[in-house]
A and B are shown apart, each in its own frame.
Chain A
Amino acid sequence: MDQFIQQFLTGLSIGSILLLVAIGLSIIYGAMGIINLAHGEFVMLGAYAAWFLQVQFGMGLLTSLVPIFLLVAAFGWLIERFVLSFLNNRPLDTILATWGVGIMLQQAVRLTAGGELRYVKMPEALSNSTDILGVQISLYRVFLLVASLVLFAATWLLMNRTTVGMKLRAIIQDRSVAASFGVNARRIYGLTFAYGAGLAGLAGALVSPLKSVSPEMGTGYVIDAFMVVVLGGVQSLVGTVASAFILGELSGVIAFLQNDTVAKAIVLLAIVVLIRFRPQGMFATRVRA
């Protein structure tokens, strides 16, 4: 029984990290249809921002979260404004452009911060482990789980309970009609992309104390994030959450019974099979078109 609970909590924790990384991508891909291959680099920028603020200004991880969100969001806004907004409705060019931006970011970080792995300190109060239902689990992992759910809730509220969110949903349904009602699509797109980038930055900062910080760290995350978004169904935030936790539990359990190499292969295979029979993902939102 202990082992079952232990494994269940582990799956939740893996899922929460997947969710953290995927939310930003889900917003950008779902709302704007942009396949953002630089997403992993936004994650990486967040982690490096955490490192930089810690080394230069001695800021703890928790206090630096807001500045990190703003920094990476501002950077995302610039990318949208000066690169992607010129490539509207050109998906292939957008993929190439975001890929290029990603490579440039990697190299820029390598040239400025150096190529070695960097260290981000875990908040003192969260560095121990705690007992939940009789099993030991890292406090920081519990914190990540809570953080991912909070970010999800905030994003959901933003999309469904604010004017900006409403305008965005209007644009998603029909950009030209929304524009004719006075919605400034360019502005909304810029804000959306900035928000998605900011979330990616937060994700990078939050996972950095458990993982390693290097210029290439984003590559792995972007693949995971795409798996989550594609499996969950584009445009469905709830789908993203569900698929993150399903993938987390699934890879956790298979890794426990077999090993991580097998887990990775089986999870990918499962996604491929599912996409074959349900290309829209598990939770497709129905929208009149």
Chain B
Amino acid sequence: MLADRAHREGFFVFEQGMEMKLTRRQLLRNTAAFGAFASTGFPHIWIKNADLASAAAGEIKVGVLFSLTGTTAIIEESLNKATLLAIEEINAAGGIKGMKIVPVVEDPASDPATFADKARKLVVGDKCVSVFGSYTSASRKAVLPVFERQNNLYWYPTLYEGRECSKNVIYTGAVPNQQQDEFIPWLINKFGKKFYLIGSNYIYPKEENNYCKKLLQKHGGEVVAEEYVPLGHSEFSSVINKFKSTQPNVIFSTVVGDSVVALHRQYHAAGLDPEKMPMASLTTSENEIAAMGGEAAAGHFTSAPYFMVFQSPENEKFVAAYKKRWGADKVTHFVSEACYFQIHLFKQAVEKLAVSDITPPNIRDAVKGQETLAPQGKVRIEPENLHTWLWPKIAQAQSDGQFKILVQAKNWLKPLPYAAYPGQVCSEKGLVVQN
């Protein structure tokens, strides 16, 4: 039988007469149906306000651009939730000068090109005065041209690799110096100087490791290996064999996403001991720990400005409100916290402006130097580079799925997005290169 032979002989070999059966109309119908399906996705929180175009109508429109579908939806869903929570709280308390914040939620589906399309739609079509969004650096880089060309304002809540100096982005996450300056010497002191650098294979881990290597040099540490695994990688047994053969004192991990979970679980199953060879991470949060289980996370370290257990009245309020709004089993983490407080910074900036002056460049100028009491402590937007002064903390994961904070910075730390590049400074006029 022809058909059976076709099946046996290869992957994409179809029966004779196949071309005949698939008429053009059929093909069109199939692709059209599929296309419609793929682009619509599923209904989600959808607030449409096409008929109210400007802030003058007693409303301030802002875009919310976090993936609700696709690979990074896992984490971005929580960012969307924290953002909406803050907006709802402000609206419930009377809004900004009596005007309600109206969030226009778009789903960029974890795809950088879609991020750019949706950003354009929010800025040009919906005339939003600011957009809050992005988790990955790839998606931020993709929307950057849109905001620079339209002179609009993007608020980016994620810790990231630095080395960016846009006048159209407010960065409320940590940059390398805020996560590592205290962390690396502390690790060397406590565990030893041999570091194994492992990360996912893209720009963020490479830049973080770049800075880490500088700090290691400065503090007398050494790199026994530097390695990158593909994004989404889930098989770490060979990597673990290399841990065993090189015997580092610290495994410095910038592995992201679901790979973090696989790495921890396999490390735990292989019987390695966090007391002798702990993983020190910049990306492992409560969110990842919930997925890997406390027993696989326990004993490892993370450096970040915020942990869910941090004790402050603001944080207690934030955690309680988040759980009440989105479910008692939900966790807050260092990116969702930034999503939450950046809305409050936005509110403060808009409050300083007259209603007719509410435009993105004015909001940017007004937010410079703004301070707010965030769950992590008082934060401030640095006027020079639009990054944020934050409170570095070092914490150890516990078997109950929460962290225990071991070190808290005595002072907030200035953001230095070009810390790894001596001679380059991000200033109010843009990037300055000194020779």
Contact = CB atoms under 8 A, between A and B. Distances in A.
Most buried by B among A100, A110, A259, A279: A259
A261 B229 contact: yes
B270 A136 contact: yes
Interface string B240-256: 01101100000000000
B234 A115 contact: no
A119 B331 CA distance: 14
A287 interface: yes
Given A6-B241, A115-B68, A174-B4, A259 B271 contact: no
B271 A117 contact: no
Contacts of A216: 70-71
Most buried by B among A111, A115, A209, A252: A115
A122 interface: yes
A184 interface: no
A204 B93 CA distance: 47
A119 B293 contact: yes
A107 B293 CA distance: 24
B228 A261 contact: yes
B290 interface: yes
Contacts of A264: 230
Contacts of B46: none
B274 to A, nearest CB: 14
A119 B290 contact: yes
B4 A33 contact: yes
B1 A115 contact: no
Contacts of B241: 3, 6-7, 10, 256
Interface string B212-254: 0000000000000001111011110111011011000000000
Contact of A92 (B22, B42, B228, B258): B22
Interface in A257-287: 259-261, 263-264, 275, 279-280, 284-285, 287
Interface in A213-241: 213-217, 220, 226, 230, 234-235
A159 to B, nearest CB: 16
Contacts of B11: 35, 226, 230, 275
A259 B262 contact: no
A211 interface: yes
How many of chain B's residues touch chain A, expressed as a range?
35 or more
B262 A210 contact: yes
A100 B71 CA distance: 17
B232 A220 contact: yes
Interface stretch (B13-21, B55-63, B342-350, B373-381): B13-21
B235 A14 contact: yes
A93 B34 CA distance: 12
A260 B238 contact: yes
Contacts of B293: 119, 121-122
Contacts of A176: 1
A173 B4 contact: yes
Contact of B1 (A118, A210, A289): A289
Interface residues of A, number: 73
B9 A115 contact: no
Contacts of B228: 259, 261
A137 B241 CA distance: 10
B69 interface: yes
B230 A138 contact: no
A238 to B, nearest CB: 15
Contacts of B15: 89, 91
A13 B237 contact: yes
Interface in A65-113: 89-93, 96, 100, 103, 107, 110-111
Interface in B35-76: 37-38, 41-42, 68-71, 73-74
B18 A260 contact: no
A140 interface: yes
A139 B242 CA distance: 19
A40 to B, nearest CB: 12
Interface in B261-293: 261-262, 265-266, 268-271, 287-288, 290-293
Interface in B157-187: none
17 contacts: A3-B241, A17-B235, A96-B34, A115-B68, A117-B290, A140-B269, A175-B4, A211-B262, A212-B258, A214-B258, A216-B71, A251-B235, A261-B201, A261-B229, A264-B230, A280-B8, A289-B5
6 nearest CB pairs, A to B? A129-B271, A117-B291, A33-B7, A255-B238, A212-B261, A138-B269
Interface of A: 3, 6-7, 10, 13-14, 17, 33, 35, 89-93, 96, 100, 103, 107, 110-111, 114-119, 121-122, 127-129, 136-141, 172-176, 209-217, 220, 226, 230, 234-235, 251-253, 255-256, 259-261, 263-264, 275, 279-280, 284-285, 287, 289
